[in-house]
Structure 1
Amino acid sequence: MYELAPNIDLLFAEAGESAADRVRAAAAAGFSAVEMWGPTGKDIPALKDALEQTGVKLTAQLAEPRTQFMIPPKNHAPFYTGLEEGVQVALQLGCPRIVVGSGTGFGGRKRQDQLDELIEIYTKAVSLIDGSGITLVLEPVNVRVDHPGALLDRTSEAVYVARGVDSAQFGVLYDLYHSTVEGEDVEHELANAAGLIKYVQIADAPGRGEPGSGLIDWTSRLAQLHTSGYRGEIGLEYYPTISSAQSVKRIQELVAAP
């Protein structure tokens, strides 16, 4: 049903530190796609060779630096410069998406004002990369466990920003783990975001381990995702509690089920 893309910064560590070696390990395990965090610290030519030699595609990478947009003096120039550089790396690697975030919110300003400023920031970002073929996907993250202080912790607010940017090159990254930890109604959020979700990531909750290590009903959640109309790749962004090869079996079986 879905093409799975293990995160090579978290999975297949058994293959070593090299991103290229982890791509080859993922390919050997039967994957045709992978995702990664930022390109910093990676041997990009070697990674490109590994992707080309295995036929594995890279589905997503992070924007760098992870700018704290709302904190004075609010100098966004490093973000825009880093984004343009990231686009060049993405083009080299054939990666169609760059994941962006909200940064830390500023307690002295109304939340609505900060969300509206995100719209301005990302409208400019989209204009800077226009014509590249790269899509920016905005990720809301949970503040209860993993990202205390982050501004964007609600799927509905990421949808609000995406609607404000109003570009085919901008959408929402829906992370089922973050959404679950925040206590969201998954079916409702997927319905509300229909048409704007341009990438999905998963991990089980609690614990952020592989599917089957927590309490999420994966059969139901995958059915809800399918009903929402999403047909793209699913990134496996979890911390394996067992070997990578063993940890992916459960979700592979579920995705392969009719």
Structure 2
Amino acid sequence: MYQLSANIELLFKEAGEAPDRVRAAAATGFDAVEMWFSTDKDLDALGKALADTGTQLTSLLAGPRMGYTYPGTDLAPFHEGLDVAVANAQQLGCPRVVLASGTGFPGMNRQKNHQLITDMFAEAVERTAGSGIEFALEPINSRVDHPGALTDRTDDAVQIARAIGSDRFGILYDLYHSIVQGEDPATELANAAGLVKYVQLADVPGRGQPGSGRVDWAAQLGVLRASGYDGPIGLEYFPTVPSEESVRLIRSIAADA
């Protein structure tokens, strides 16, 4: 059985602010939640909600997400954003921080951009040694949601993770982004063996709740299980029905996966 983690940016919004969403998720049976940025939230109140409900925060994002050039190749914004994310993850008991590649640096080809961000992430891993926090680089589709994204293929993130070679650095495999990008999950997961630190999902098309699109979720969770991944799965979708109703199908399938 997979642990499902409700994204409190998108689910249980009807409950109120982030701490209220944690409590609402817990009241409907979730023991895990994920979120985006930590800098726009009351961390003390959020931490209390997590502690009071016994809920695990499974991931948060480091910013900036889509660009690091202020101007040129100044990497200070990335490192500053990462330091804040790591400190906040530690405060909230969150084991991982999700990273993004951005759109790349101007005047550089794809290969040079990949080398630059590989070096940037490797330095981040070294600087945060002993923090207890791991990093997951998220490839995001450029076909629909994020035109111009530098790491828009799963293999991009896999190659960067292999080059860094740290057990604290891997990838976030998002089934939605991968399928939208035209990838075959079984192929990508086999290629990423040992590097998948976290998984998210949403249906295709539309990025709605499982059951709103054409994805065979029983088959895809079977593929995920066969790949060896047994960690949490983040529910990062835009619900078209009330939050509690939107999770019924995937909960049923995950219970048997």
**Deviation at residue 67 of structure 1 after TM alignment:** 5.2
**Deviation at residue 63 of structure 1 after TM alignment:** 0.2
- 1:199 and 2:198 correspond: yes
Equivalent residue number for residue 3 of structure 1: 3
Alpha-carbon separation, structure 2, partners of 1:128 and 1:225: 32
- 1:47 and 2:55 correspond: no
Equivalent residue number for residue 12 of structure 1: 12
Equivalent residue number for residue 25 of structure 1: 24
Gaps of at least 5 residues in structure 1 are none
**Deviation at residue 106 of structure 1 after TM alignment:** 4.3
Equivalent residue number for residue 254 of structure 2: 255
Equivalent residue number for residue 244 of structure 2: 245
Q: Secondary structure at the match of 1:235?
A: strand
Alpha-carbon separation, structure 2, partners of 1:33 and 1:159: 26
**Contact 2:73/2:105 (8 A) holds in 1:** no
Equivalent residue number for residue 56 of structure 1: 55
User: Residue deviations 1:74-112, cap 9 Å, x none?
Assistant: 111111012112111111100000000000134642212
Q: How does 1:89-104 map to 2 (within 5 A)?
A: 89-104=88-103
Gaps of at least 5 residues in structure 2 are none
Alpha carbons of 1:70 and 1:190: their partners in 2 closer, same or farther (altered >3 Å)?
Answer: farther
**Contact 1:70/1:114 (8 A) holds in 2:** no
Q: Secondary structure at the match of 1:216?
A: coil
- 1:189 and 2:188 correspond: yes
User: Residue deviations 1:200-244, cap 9 Å, x none?
Assistant: 000000000000000111111000000000000000000000000
**Contact 2:66/2:149 (8 A) holds in 1:** no
Q: How does 1:62-101 map to 2 (within 5 A)?
A: 62-66=61-65, 68-69=67-68, 73-101=72-100
Alpha-carbon separation, structure 2, partners of 1:51 and 1:107: 41
Alpha-carbon separation, structure 2, partners of 1:76 and 1:67: 13
Equivalent residue number for residue 164 of structure 1: 163
**Contact 2:31/2:56 (8 A) holds in 1:** yes
**Contact 1:67/1:79 (8 A) holds in 2:** no
The letter of the residue matching 1:127 is: E
Alpha-carbon separation, structure 1, partners of 2:104 and 2:148: 7
**Contact 2:72/2:105 (8 A) holds in 1:** no
**Deviation at residue 46 of structure 1 after TM alignment:** 0.2
User: Residue deviations 1:97-133, cap 9 Å, x none?
Assistant: 0000000134642212211111101000101111001
The letter of the residue matching 2:180 is: V
The letter of the residue matching 1:157 is: D
**Contact 1:71/1:105 (8 A) holds in 2:** no
**Contact 2:33/2:234 (8 A) holds in 1:** yes
**Count of aligned pairs:** 257
**Deviation at residue 166 of structure 1 after TM alignment:** 0.6
Tell me the TM-score normalized by structure 1: 0.97
Between the two proteins, what is the percent identity of the paired residues? 57
| Regions of 4+ moved over 6 Å | none
Alpha-carbon separation, structure 2, partners of 1:83 and 1:24: 27
The letter of the residue matching 1:191 is: A
Alpha-carbon separation, structure 2, partners of 1:24 and 1:73: 43
Equivalent residue number for residue 145 of structure 2: 146
